[in-house]
Amino acid sequence: MRRIAHLIGGETASSADARTGPVFNPATGEQTAELELASRATVEATIAKAQDAFDDWSARTPINRARILFRYKELLHAHMDELAELVSREHGKTIDDAKGSITRGIEIVEFACGIPQLLKGEFSANVGTGIDSYNMRQPLGVCAGITPFNFPAMVPLWMYPVALACGNCFILKPSEKTPSCPLRLVELAHEAGVPEGVLSVVNGDKEAVDTLLQDERVKAVSFVGSTPIAEYIYHTGSAHNKRVQALGGAKNHMIVMPDADIGRVTDALIGSAFGSAGERCMAISIAVCVGDETADRVRNAVSTAASNLNVGPYSDGDADFGPLSSQAHMNKVLSYIDTGVEEGAELVTDGRRLKLQGYENGYFVGPCVFDHVTPDMTIYKEEIFGPVLGIVRQESYAGALNLVNEHELGNGASLFTNNGGVSRHFLEKSKIGMVGVNVPIPVPVAYHSFGGWKRSLFGDHHMHGPEGVRFYTKLKTATVAWPGGTNTGPEFSIPTLS
């Protein structure tokens, strides 16, 4: 059985007596590896190495760090096929989907390559006679990232390239379910020239997480995952005086207006609801249709299209999406579907009994479409994180927007319409962090920032883009009186612009 260890200070770190956890292939249900789980002592040793490396790394010029990241970007492109295989083997998503997610991560590296421009401060001459003022952004120190199973390449790449470009050292704690790709990403970073200790990977569970949250040498923590864990990460890290950005769950709505192109709506819903088996925090899981006629058209078109989707292992080049990530998660998704039926929603398309020849033990659930979902139902209120789409009927646009705004989660939402006035109203009045018009998955590009509102985000900063630079740096403002001029003696009143 293959054993997966940590990557600390540029070297593989393993312990024969370490606790371990299983890693599975979700398409077959077979265990493929044992993963070492870091003890508190292992994490503390990793923090110490990062702290030792910080002075030298932070003293390097921004252009030096950018050149290393540019070499890293080239290596990521060169190893795309290998990285996609690692993602798909442990998560289950198709190769094309894996490559798409890696590409989005590489775009963050490209953004971070512009760090000399991003770290330029502001300068004001003569704020007083012979006095200038300017500011600068400086690194925090040792930072940490805790990343989810569903994007083992993209989400880590949202974090550490920006952190490193700003001059910080970084410790990555990836999901125990999908550890291989994050390890390979960091190996390639070292190959690109990132020094030992600047970037490390520790695999682990709650013991490793709590060590990162509690150790005073860790100055900032980034997290992506479920809302309950995001809230725990935020409050625990903040209680230990850390800067924390914790991105939680989502229940993303798509409002469909009567004038929307139903063909375009159908394609958008099918791709966003069922792509990656619905294991995306930006997946559309609720279609809010304005008017019964609109709902009937959407129901018929989407249920027909969903029934024709090809579900299979990542090795099947014709598969539209693959299995769920684990046995436990598959059971959870199935229980949500059962609950939806029990609570009175109409299950139009039922994917619960999907068994694939040769993959009978895989964690496969076919596309499920519910109609007549109401806001009091569990499948409306809670994030399912599976290939399940609910249709909610509303009489008016105002009622549809109210549903979006009243939900406790506010990650993403979209509106499909040809009406410019309604579109502008939606963009302005929706209480959501990321919104789209005629776009099903409104994920910001790398040079903007990613993050939700309400209980989809804990902390003040969104991720990557300009917000990422602000999160991984602290502001310093200097006021300088240059030699020369007349000494007027001591001043006892507070300085003013007069």
User: Which residues participate in catalysis according to the annotation?
Assistant: 281
Q: For residue 283, which amino acid is it? A: A
Angle between helices 180-192 and 80-91 (to 10 degrees): 160
DSSP 152: T
Q: For residue 428, which amino acid is it? A: E
Q: Which helix (H) or strand (E) holds 337?
A: helix 327-342
Residue 39, number of CB atoms within 10 A of its CB: 18
Q: For residue 17, which amino acid is it? A: D
d(CA 421, CA 416): 12
DSSP 456: T
Phi, psi of 182 (to 5 degrees): -55, -40
Q: Which residues partner with 154 through β-bridges?
A: none
DSSP 498: -
Nearest to 244, CA basis, from 146, 104, 151: 146
End-to-end CA distance of the chain: 75
* The token pair that represents 432 in the structure block: 């959501």
Nearest to 225, CA basis, from 179, 186, 174, 180: 174
Residue 87, number of CB atoms within 10 A of its CB: 29
